Amino acid sequence: MPNVDLSSIWLDIGLNDMLPLERKAAAAHEKLDELTMQDGTMTGWVNFPETLDKTDLADISATARHLRSISDAVVVIGAGGSYLGSRAVIELLYSSYYNELGIGPKLYFAGHNLSSRELDTFSSLLENVDFSVIVISKSGTTLEPALSLRFFRQLLAQRYGEDSISDRIVAITDEKKGKLGPMADELGWKRFAIPSNIGGRYSVFTAAGLLPMAVAGVGLQTLIFGARAEARKLNSIRSFENPAWQYAVARNLLYSKGKKIELMTCYEPSFKYTAEWFKQLFGESEGKQGKGIFPASAQYTTDLHSLGQYVQEGERSLFETLVRFDHSGAPVRVANDFADSDGLNYLSGKEMYTIQNVAENAVISAHNSGGVPVVLIEAGEINERSIGAMLYFFQLSCAVSGLMLGVDPFDQPGVEAYKSNMHSMLKSL
């Protein structure tokens, strides 16, 4: 569903620049096909939306219903890929005010930092509130979620008694490896699997993403339907008509022209966590061997009043990727002010969305003239189907882009290095 528009990437590009890159994209996609057919590679996500079973979805939905029936709040414990996907979808659909909307249990995301203040805040928020826990960790040994799990288990035990908490904890972890699975089995917790051949940052369509989404009331069938349709489309078009190739080619081209920073922007504030998910996906997939575009994000128009100055006139090493959504929801019109004190009555009666659209175009043109190429991604309306499609689009683009760059987009040796360093230093405490 997402369409890529390269008309504002502005660089002096001729067919001679594009053709070799198109061939590179084709080779990268073929490489991805090869990897997908081999055992032992981390490409299980490629066909996952296609193969995801109805029974698995039914089990996830039933567990979500159970958690909703016994909880006024659900704590989702996980770091990086283990929580960003679900948070991105929930916030994009319902906004960052989800917890105030009263449409499901409140959701608190924990286990992605080491802050005692934050844990303390959670224990105040959960006082006299019935709550449950979803813990997501492929390895089961990541420090932040593991310590958080200890904290919330203790809180649950104090509230309900050690013997009565097993139906309040659900574990989502690697199907074969790691420490969390055996722990869940021993303690009688419901358990879902993340396939071993799907890494955290590609796991949004597994139970890791789907269970918290289902708790929040997201329509899983429609989301998966969108991802599946997108997977079929993107894996069958083998030409520059393929939007994922267009995006991957644009990124590689801009990178080769010195644009080392990609600023992901959007005019919807509820996109914030999708941008976080995007940064993790691309940063962890491409940033290795001394290479890779640095993925950053800005929220427009908010950040135009701060970062906007840098984007317009700072060091010319960045390009923007603007995700645009069609208008959905009730129209909001500018109110009339009889005194016209701010001189803006010429906008009275106009829809905010129309004004936002004009702002988008004005900003693209200003940034272009300041030397900032803008890749436009038209993502449709904000709904489950188009979000499913968009997330799959980014995953496939990321794999093709990383393979074009000549790195392995599925490992994360740098993250492992920090994790093992921290563990060994902590042992000397």
Applying CB under 6 A, which residues contact ligand PA5? Answer: 79-82, 137-139, 142, 145, 199-201, 280, 284, 412, 415
**Catalytic: 284?**
yes
Catalytic one of 127, 305, 315, 427: 305
| Of 80 and 388, CB closest to ligand PA5 | 80
Nearest distance in Å: CB 60, ligand PA5:
18
**Closest residue by beta carbon to ligand PA5:** 200
Which residue, 82 or 242, has its beta carbon nearer to ligand PA5?
A: 82
Pick the closer one to ligand PA5 by CB: 11 or 143.
143
In whole angstroms, the minimum distance from the beta carbon of 276 to ligand PA5 comes to: 11
Closest to 184 (Cα-Cα) out of 201, 165, 200: 165
Cα distances from 5 to residues 96, 216, 268, 316, 400, in angstroms, run 28, 33, 19, 21, 18
Total H helices, total E strands in the chain: 16, 10
145, 111 Cβ separation under 8 angstroms = yes
Instruction: Report yes or no: 377 and 4 within 8 Å, Cβ to Cβ.
Output: yes
Between CA 162 and CA 190 the distance in angstroms is: 16
Terminal-to-terminal C-alpha distance of the chain: 51
Alpha-carbon gap, residue 142 to 114, rounded angstroms = 11
Strands 169-174 and 131-136: parallel
Dihedral of CA 192/194/195/196: which sign?
negative
Residue with tokens 């996907």: 85
The residue assigned the tokens 């089961």 is 140
Q: How far is the CB of 176 from ligand PA5 (least distance, A)?
A: 13
Nearer to ligand PA5 by Cβ, of 205 and 267: the residue is 205
DSSP conformational letter for 21: H
**Cα–Cα distance between 404 and 394 in angstroms, integer?**
15
Smallest gap from Cβ 81 to ligand PA5, in A, equals 3
Q: State the Cα–Cα distance between residues 426 and 429, nearest whole angstrom.
A: 5
Which residues sit opposite 169 in a β-bridge?
133
The active-site residue, picked from 284, 286, 320, 384, is 284
- 175 classed as catalytic: no
Structure tokens at 162: 């050690």
Least gap, CB of 161 to ligand PA5 (angstroms) = 28
CB-nearer residue toward ligand PA5: 265 or 412: 412
Q: In degrees rounded to 5, what are phi and psi of residue 393? A: -55, -45
Query: Which CB, 73 or 147, lies closer to ligand PA5?
Result: 147
Short-list 398, 8, 372, CA closest to 234? 398
Name the active-site residue from 66, 233, 279, 419.
Answer: 419
- Residue (32 or 84) nearer to ligand PA5, CB: 84
Q: Cα(148)–Cα(135) distance, rounded to whole angstroms?
A: 9
Question: Which two structure tokens, joined as six digits, stand for 337?
Answer: 């002010």
Rounded to a whole number of angstroms, the minimum distance from the CB of residue 82 to ligand PA5 is 4
419 is catalytic: yes
Catalytic residues: 284, 305, 419
